[in-house]
Amino acid sequence: MMLTKLKGGKVYDPANQVNGEVRDLYVRDGRIVAAPVHDERTHCEYDLTGHIVMAGAIDLHTHIGGGKVNIARAMLPEDHRRDIVARTSLTRSGCGHAAPATLTTGYRYAEMGYTACFEPAVLPMNARQAHMEMGDTPIVDKGGYALLGSDDFLLRMMAAKSDQKAINDYVAWTLNSSHCIGIKVVNPGGISAFKFNQRAMDLDEDHSYYQVTPRQILTVLARALSDLGVPHPLHVHGCNLGVPGNVATTLETVKAAEGLPMHLTHIQFHSYGTEGDRKFSSGAARVAEAINQNKNISTDVGQIMFGQTVTASGDSMTQFRNAPFGRPKKWVVMDIECDAGCGVVPFRYRDTNFVNALQWAIGLEIFLMVSDPWRIFITTDHPNGAPFMSYPHLIKLLMDKTYRNSMLDTINPDAAAESTLASLTREYSLYEIAIMTRAAPAKILGLTDRGHLGPGAGADITVYSDDADKQKMFAQPRYVFKDGELVVQNGKITKVSWGNTHVVKPEYDKSIEQPLKTYFERYQTMRMDNFKISDDEMQEFGHANKLLSHPCRKQT
C-alpha cells in the first residue's frame, strides 16, 4: 500500500472545478486518493512547487491502428527514413513521422503527456488487426470506434425498412463483437455508394442501389446509440469532406441529429464556402454559430499544420477525388469486404498555397469562435491534418494571439486577407486547455475515472514546468504518471507499461445472430463466430492489459 505524494503543484482539474489552485495530490495503488487523515508516512514525494498539474491528456480522434494506418506505413518508406528513433535501454527502436510504428506512437504520446488515445475508424471486419496494433502501442490507454453506415448489413436492413429495435440490436452486437467504445460513421452510405460508381453523395441524395440517404443513416445510428445508452454520441465524419461549399451540408447535418447527441469530427474539413475569386472561402463563422446554438453537438477540429503528412481515411470517395493531389505521387484506394473501404494519399500542406493556408486559418477560426470548450476538442485528425506531434505548437497558437498573428503574416497573403483570424483576440487559458484535452473528452467518452484528479480517478497525471512559451511547456512534461507509475521524466520514457483498453458492452437480443450468420456465410470471407473477438483474445493482444468496460445507461 505505497502512498505517493505530489506536493504543492498548481492544479488544473476542470471536472472538479479546480482552476490553478496549489494543492497536494495523493496516489495509492494506481488511483488518486483523498489526503490521509492521520499523519501517514508517504513512501515517495515529488515537490511540484512552481509546476502545472493536470490529468493525463486524452486524444479522442487519432488514427493509430488498423488497415489504413498500416497501408500508410507500408507505402511511405521515405516517411520512415526521415524520422528514425534509436533504441534505448528501456525502449525499442522505431521510425515514422506521419505514420509512426506502434511502439514509437505510444512513446511519443506519453512523452507529450498523453495517457489515452482513441482510434476512430475500426472496421469491424478488421477489428482484430486494429486491436493487435493498439495492444502493441505502449503506455497509453486505447479504445476504438467501430465503423458503420456503409456496411451492407445495415443498408439492407434500412432498405427492407427494418424497425429501429432490430437496428439497435445490430449496433450493440457490433460494439460487443469488435470491442469498441463508440460508433463512427464516415461519409454515411457514401463508401458503399462509391462501389456502385457514385462519385458524390449529398445528405439527402439516394444511394443508387439501396435507396437510402445519408441523413436517414445518421438518424437511425444516432437513435440506436441513444436507445442503447452508449455514452459516446454518434461520431460523424460527414458527407462532402473537403468539397468547397460543404458548409451547407454541415449545417444540415446538425439538423439531421434531430436534437440527439452527435459528435462532428474534423469539422475544419467540413467548413468551406464558395465565395471569392477562387470559389473557396471560410464557413467557420456559420459552423461555429450552429455549434454554439445546438448544445447536443460536439466537435473536434482536425486542424491542419504545414508540412508533410499522409491522409488515411475510410472515405474512399473523397480519397479517390484527392488522389491527383498526392505528394509524393502515390495513392491507394481499396475496398474492404462488405464493411467499407479506405484510401491513403500522402499530402504536403504548404503555407504558400491559397487553399492550404485558408484551411489552416479556418481551423483556428473555429477554435476561437466556438464558445464552449466542453464541446470542442484539440485534434489534427492525426495524421490527416498533421502528425500528433504538432499539438504543442497548436496549443501555443490557441493561447498566444501575438504568436498566432505573427504566423498569420507568413501565410499566403490572399488567404490571410480572406480570413477573419486577425480580428479574433481570444486566447485560451490553461483551464480551458485542460477542459479540451482532459475533462471534456473523458466526459464525452463516458470515462468516469479518467480526465480528472479527484479521489477514485486512475492516477494518469501530467506535470509541466511552467513556461511563457506554451509550445515548449506542452512538448516536454516534467513528469507523467500512468496508473500511478512514473513513466516519463523530463520528456523521456522512464518505464514502459501497456495501458488499458476501454470498451462498452450494450445489451441486445441474441436473435440478431440468425440473419447475421446467414449473411456471413453468403457474403463474407469469414464465419460469424470467427468475426467475433473474445475477451481472452483482447487480453492477449494487449500484453495482458486490462479491459475496462464502461456502463451503458439505458434510456427510458
CB-nearer residue toward Zn ion: 145 or 210:
145
Span of 186-194, 217-225, 380-388, 450-458 interacting with Zn ion by CB under 5 A: 380-388
Shortest distance (Å) from residue 301 CB to Zn ion: 11
Classify residue 127 as exposed, middle or buried by CB count within 10 Å of its CB (0-12, 13-18, 19+): buried
CB of 266 to Zn ion, least distance (A): 6
Decide: residue 16, CB within 10 A, 0-12 exposed, 13-18 middle, 19+ buried.
middle
* Least distance CB 458 / Zn ion (angstroms): 26
Q: Which is nearer to Zn ion, 117 or 407 (CB)?
A: 117
CA angle in degrees (0–180, nearest 5) for 508-514-515: 100
* Nearest residue (CB) to Zn ion, 42 versus 322: 322
Smallest separation, CB 264 to Zn ion (Å): 12
How far is it, in rounded angstroms, from Cα 123 to Cα 133?
A: 13
394 or 475: whose CB is closer to Zn ion?
394
Q: CB 381 → Zn ion: shortest distance, Å?
A: 4
The Cα-based distances of 511 to 165, 170, 555 in angstroms read: 12, 10, 22
Give min distance, CB of 424 to Zn ion, in A. Answer: 25
Of 441 and 458, which has the nearer Cβ to Zn ion?
441
- Choose between 9 and 314: whose C-beta lies nearer to Zn ion: 314
Q: Which stretch binds Zn ion (CB under 5 A): 243-251, 379-387, 391-399, 457-465?
A: 379-387
Is 120 or 373 the residue whose CB approaches Zn ion more closely? 120
What's the closest the beta carbon of residue 64 comes to Zn ion, in angstroms? 11
Count of other CB atoms within 10 angstroms of residue 63: 23
381 binds Zn ion (CB under 5 A): yes
Which range in 195-203, 318-326, 374-382, 441-449 contacts Zn ion by CB under 5 A?
374-382
- Which of 107, 1, 113, 97 minimizes the C-alpha distance to 55? 113
* Cβ nearer to Zn ion, comparing 212 with 221: 221
Shortest reach from residue 476's CB to Zn ion, in Å:
26
Q: By CB under 5 A, which span of 71-79, 376-384, 439-447, 534-542 interacts with Zn ion?
A: 376-384
Taking the C-alpha atoms of residue 40 and residue 46, their distance in angstroms, rounded to an integer, is: 16
Q: What residues numbered 69-128 form the site for Zn ion, per CB under 5 A?
A: 120
**Helix or strand holding residue 402 (H, E):** helix 401-408
From first CA to last CA, the distance across the chain in angstroms is 42
H/E stretch holding 193 reads helix 190-195
Residues in contact with 417: Cβ distance below 8 Å, sequence separation at least 6, in sequence order = none
Closest to Zn ion by CB, 381 or 483: 381
| CA angle 373–107–504, rounded 5-degree value | 55
Shortest distance (Å) from residue 97 CB to Zn ion: 18
How many residues sit in the footprint of Zn ion (CB under 5 A)? 2
Using CB atoms, what's the residue nearest to Zn ion? 381
Look at the block and give the residue holding cell 490571410. 416
Q: Identify which range of 67-75, 159-167, 375-383, 474-482 contacts Zn ion by CB under 5 A.
A: 375-383
Report angle CA 358, 397, 273 to the nearest 5 degrees: 20
CB of 120 to Zn ion, least distance (A): 5
Rank residues 253 and 471 by Cβ distance to Zn ion and give the closer one.
Answer: 253
Residue carrying the nine cell digits 501497456: 498
Cβ-based nearer residue to Zn ion, 120 or 242: 120
Say if residues 268 and 363 touch (Cβ distance below 8 Å): yes
* Nearest-approach distance from CB 227 to Zn ion, in angstroms: 26
The 3-state DSSP class for residue 162 equals coil
Single-letter amino acid, residue 354: F
Helix residue ranges, H only, 196-347:
214-228, 247-256, 284-293, 316-322
The interface with Zn ion within residues 160-219 (CB under 5 A) comprises none
The set of residues, in sequence order, having a beta carbon less than 8 Å from that of 79 and lying 6+ positions away, is 72, 73, 96, 97, 98, 99, 308, 310, 346
Residue 86 grid cell: 534509436
Q: Which residues bind Zn ion (CB under 5 A)?
A: 120, 381
